[in-house]
Structure 1
């Protein structure tokens, strides 16, 4: 089962672009642990999404018990993400802006846009490849 790409897009932009840029900027005693916690959150959520995909595949192959695992992991994700997103949106991201000039922030936003475009291209290329295998 393919996942939606949402975790990859969300985490990729943050970890590969924003957090990488912040890493060398001398984060404050409050901001460094928060960024580390957000990275740990991403590891946790990737594990949950992977668990959903794995259990769903087992269910598709006839393992009736796997359905309960899918439901449990989805509930964990449902319960996890609101707090994670609130921490990012209301605490960490506003604090992170202070580490960048307006010009640097504009360049980061452009890199985010490029990342999104590349991600979209890869997703559609994979989808086309999947369709071609059917014919």
Structure 2
């Protein structure tokens, strides 16, 4: 849940930029790139990655209530929605960079969608799913997952920059 607080802070920054976009009728495409990078690398790959690759994997081994299993399914679907919306921001930003002024409307709409979506998603995790999911694990299992979370985080920087180099090698 600590990661949620940083995501919320970035969402607040994006909301501030959205106000500027509305008043100036333009956006810095580099800021959009930075926001997308944060969402993709931190919110999605790092944060959602730990949920999907570790927490949900371990929960799938447990006898979850139907309600908890349904919420976990919803969270996965929401992660997919976040990825699709972020991809739409990237596509609109590319169009904007290429001189399509109408893309500004799409950038704004998709960023607004993300700033409205994530707080509800975070609240569902913080107040409903995470407290409930903790009851399925022993202290030892919790500790083992925390250690796996730390290992996951340590690998992220290497994964990010290996991917960057490979992208440029493939040009």
TM-score, normalised via structure 2 length: 0.70
What do the CA deviations read for 1:102-127 (whole angstroms, capped 9, x no partner)? 01101101111111111122224456
Maintained 8 Å contact 1:52/1:74? yes
Could you tell me how far apart the structure 2 residues matched to 1:17 and 1:91 are? 19
Among candidates 83, 88, 94, match of residue 51 of structure 1: 88
- How far apart are residue 69 of structure 1 and its match? 0.6
Runs (5+) with no aligned partner, structure 1: none
Give the corresponding residue for 1:108. Answer: 145
Q: Does 1:35 align with 2:81?
A: no
Asked whether 1:118 is paired with 2:155, we answer yes
Computed over aligned residues only, the root mean square deviation of the Cα atoms, in angstroms, reads 1.9
Residues 36-90 of structure 1, C-alpha deviation per residue, up to 9 Å, x if partnerless? 0101110101101111111111211222111111110000000111111011011
Match of 1:69? 106
Q: Distance in 2 between matches of 1:54 and 1:116?
A: 28
Misfit runs of 4+, over 6 Å: none
Name which of 70, 74, 91 aligns with 2:128: 91
- Give the length in aligned residue pairs: 131
Separation of aligned partners in 2, 1:74 and 1:117: 29
Counterpart among 38, 47, 55 of residue 10 in structure 1: 47
Structure 2 unaligned regions, length at least 5: 1-32
